[in-house]
Amino acid sequence: MPTSTDLLQGTLDLLILQTLALGPMHGWGVAQRIHQVSKDVLQIGQGSLYPALYRLEYKGWIRSDWGSSENNRRAKFYRLTAAGRKQLETEVASWDRLSAAIALVLGRGAEASS
């Protein structure tokens, strides 16, 4: 069983925004989706997830509304705003730049794979 991996600082926002680009989700659903898509490598704890959701909502990148979860429990559902979509594009471009730079330092850049 793979061990969980600590996230680089700042990547949690990117992961949450990307996950919510798929549609509205409650907090636990966001964490589960990230865990599933990462093939059980990334596990987001409540102590990290909810402060990040509140921060993103404060910045106006996501919005929340109360609704009923799959098991009929009251839950807060989060969704991306227009500003959040724009921020997601910015974050993805930044991530692409960063990961390309790291690949170069590790000797795994475009010329290394040729």
| Strand partners for 66 | 76
Q: What is the pTM of this model?
A: 0.85
**Fold of the 11-105 domain:** Arc Repressor Mutant, subunit A (1.10.10)
User: Could you report the per-residue pLDDT of 53-105, keeping only the tens digit for each?
Assistant: 999 999 999 999 999 888 888 999 999 999 999 999 999 999 999 999 999 99
Task: Tell me the C-alpha distance between 18 and 38, whole Å.
Answer: 13
Q: Distance between CA atoms of 86 and 108, rounded to whole angstroms?
A: 30
Q: Identify the pLDDT of residue 89.
A: 97
